Structure 1
Amino acid sequence: MALRATIYKANLHVANQDLHHYASHAVVLAKHPSETTERMMVRLVAFALNASEDLVFTKGLSEVDEPDLWLKDLTGSIQLWIDVGQPDERRILKACGRANQVKVYCYARQVAKLWWEPIANKLGRARNLTIIALPSEQTKALDALVASSMDINVNVQDGQILVSSNKGDVTIDPVFLRPES
């Protein structure tokens, strides 16, 4: 018998002063049986940092040809492809060929640097690629905010991310291993 995904619901309130995006989103997260709550919360933060009405969570780990999140236009073209973790360079190059913009959120900064260094040159021609590393001590702290039903506030100012709920708050300082072009 296959294990089923665990469902989490979040009322996500985003105040992104850097992008001038202020909105609330009702989000349903399906946590794959092999996924950690840390990874799930990084997906939620990635959603908040790129929030729009058309950004959606995909089947993620359950479907190898889909990212964790994507934004499609009315024609079905992929405008934004978001992966979480450390995907291999073939997957990233394929995503860069399919989407207008690709973002990868790595959530273990030391591991991210070890992952990124050997593949950085191979991905040099991918002009639509952004790699963001999130410190592991900060993303691990997101576990304390997890509940089956969550009210999460994400405030972004000057690149710093503050994630808060009634259970506490976590500050995240992202590092761009490959900045947006």
Structure 2
Amino acid sequence: MAAGATMHTFAIQLADVDRGVYEDLSLRVARHPSETDAFMLTRVLAYCLEFEDGIDFSEGISATDQPAVRVRDLTGRLLAWIEVGAPDAEKLHSGSMQSERVAVYTHRDPAKVVLPWEGKRIHRAADIPLYSFDRGVIADAAAHIERRSALTLSVTERRMYLELNGASFESDVHEQRVG
């Protein structure tokens, strides 16, 4: 855990109908002082929307050579490199070289996120999805985060239904390709 990080605990009920994933999760999330609540919530949502055996958070913002979320198999081989926010092209390129699959989840305007990537070398860019949410949903939901939060997430037909500490939100999970 990074020095000065604030620990948050999320009790999560996940029902991803699209992927057939139904889990009760308890996540301890270290929020770095430079990390916004919206970024942290996007990190938690990326974890849930990508949930599978072997998933975990990396060392966090200070680990520049690691993704926000990753999936490893039982041998330790990196299967998925999952970025959050607006990673630079070099990090996406590196992640795509190291893992079978790369994805990006952002709480920002996706058009502004992809702009710095134009003309940059990103390995298998056409295979990398960029996921975003309806405008304002993440910021509105993030305002309800507490140190101990109860989160219910249901996903059906790429529509996300989120309840966070009694407040309800919904959004499409938009997908576009990086390249």
Q: TM-score, normalised by structure 2?
A: 0.90
* Higher alpha-carbon deviation: 82-91 or 122-131: 122-131
Does residue 172 of the first structure (1) align with residue 171 of the second (2)?
yes
Aligned match of 1:5: 5
> 1 CA distance for matches of 2:116 and 2:144?
34
Relative distance call for 1:20 and 1:144 in structure 2 (3 A) is same
AA partner of residue 138 (structure 1): V
Q: Deviations over 1:44-87 (max 9, x none)?
A: 11111011242111112021111111010122111111110111
> 2 CA distance for matches of 1:125 and 1:53?
24
- Residue 66 of structure 2 aligns to a residue in which SS? coil
Aligned match of 1:52: 52
Q: Structure 1 residue runs of 4+, over 4 Å off?
A: none
> 2 CA distance for matches of 1:61 and 1:84?
10
Contact 2:54–2:74 (Cα < 8 Å) also in 1:
no
RMSD: 1.9
> 1 CA distance for matches of 2:166 and 2:35?
22
> 2 CA distance for matches of 1:107 and 1:94?
22
> 2 CA distance for matches of 1:134 and 1:165?
16
Aligned length: 176
> 2 CA distance for matches of 1:52 and 1:125?
23
How far 1:141 sits from its partner (Å)? 1.1
Q: What stretches of structure 2 of length at least 5 have no aligned partner? A: none
Q: Percent sequence identity over matched residues?
A: 24
> 1 CA distance for matches of 2:118 and 2:18?
27
AA partner of residue 91 (structure 2): R
Q: TM-score, normalised by structure 1?
A: 0.89
Contact 2:16–2:155 (Cα < 8 Å) also in 1:
yes
